[in-house]
Amino acid sequence: MKNFVVKTLANAGALLVAIWLIQDITLTGDSTGKKAWTLILVALVFGLVNFLVKPVVKLLTFPLFILTLGLITLVVNALMLLLTSWLADQLDLSFHVEGFWTAVLGGLIISVVSWALNVVLPDGD
């Protein structure tokens, strides 16, 4: 359970950095508390997308991973971020990613920051 909380907080921190750095990734809300709650919920959605959908996509695109020497990972991460944005819209969460290239840059930032935060934050094992 502790590991789940740590990963969710790392996702939330990584999403926050991407929102802060990229103008076309937006999180809106009436107050800071509402924005924080929305960010946590979006981090949960993002975690579920990465847990459930990403392995299937990686398996189906495995030949492209070999052919592009892993660079297709940027596209897969962008698609996962766009899917998260779409799901957030369906769940009436005020998180939006505007466009594919924004999602590519956002996915890159989120991957790097999430990796760094998972290294720094304590593990639940």
Distance of CA 12 to the CA centre of its chain: 8
pLDDT bin (cut points 50, 70, 90) of residue 1 is: low
Please state the φ and ψ torsions of residue 5, each to the nearest 5 degrees.
Answer: -65, -40
And the tokens for 1? 């359970």
d(C-alpha 85, C-alpha 94), whole Å: 9
Question: Are 70 and 41 a contacting pair, CB within 8 Å?
Answer: no
Share of the chain above pLDDT 90, in %: 59
The whole model's pTM is what? 0.88
Residues 93 and 59: their CA atoms lie apart, in Å, by 30
Task: Render pLDDT for 101-124 as a digit per residue (tens, 0 to 9).
Answer: 999 999 999 999 988 887 887 765
